[in-house]
Amino acid sequence: MRNIIEDQIPQEEKDKASNLITQLEAIFNDKLSALTEKQRQDYKAINEKNKLFVNKVWDYRQHSEALSSPDVDWQEFERDYKARVFTENLLGRVESLVYRLESTKILHDYDNYQDSLNDYAYAQYSKGAGKAGFTEKVAELKQFFNRTKSTPKTENIVE
């Protein structure tokens, strides 16, 4: 298959998308956390069962406030809950977009690689035909292809 994808995004829309990403970065720059790997291990994301637990506590708070612990700062709980719901929804939308962007990039990469292989084959043919400049081009591109046979590794034996 050749040219399995074409660029469907006009330059004006590319510029607009880039500007929107810049705006998003500016909006969230000082409002989002960036945990270290250790912090991610320490805090961990809660699993689905624990999300159901949090949702059930939230539901009890909404419908049977008298059953809620007086030791919990319920205003902070509500802010955290609503922020989690917002970020989870936004994250899902962004992840869907990222998946589609990655898929599109893979297809463009594939097209570029196939065309590059075709160009290399043409350069090899042209070199064989004695056309000027192709010897150098083939020599430069040849480095990307490993043509050596692998030999079994031998261990150093200390006597």
- The pTM assigned to this predicted structure is 0.76
How much of the chain is in helix, strand and coil states, percent to nearest 5?
Answer: 70, 0, 30
Confidence (pLDDT) at 3: 83
Asked if residue 104 belongs to a domain, the reply is: yes
Tens of pLDDT, residue by residue over 20-55, are 999 999 999 999 999 999 999 999 889 999 999 999
Q: Looking at residue 148, what DSSP letter applies?
A: S
User: Would you say residue 159 has pLDDT above 50?
Assistant: no
Instruction: Give dist(CA 138, CA 119) in Å, integer.
Output: 10
Asked if residue 3 belongs to a domain, the reply is: no
Q: Which domain holds residue 128?
A: 73-141
Number of separate domains in the chain: 1
Asked if residue 103 belongs to a domain, the reply is: yes
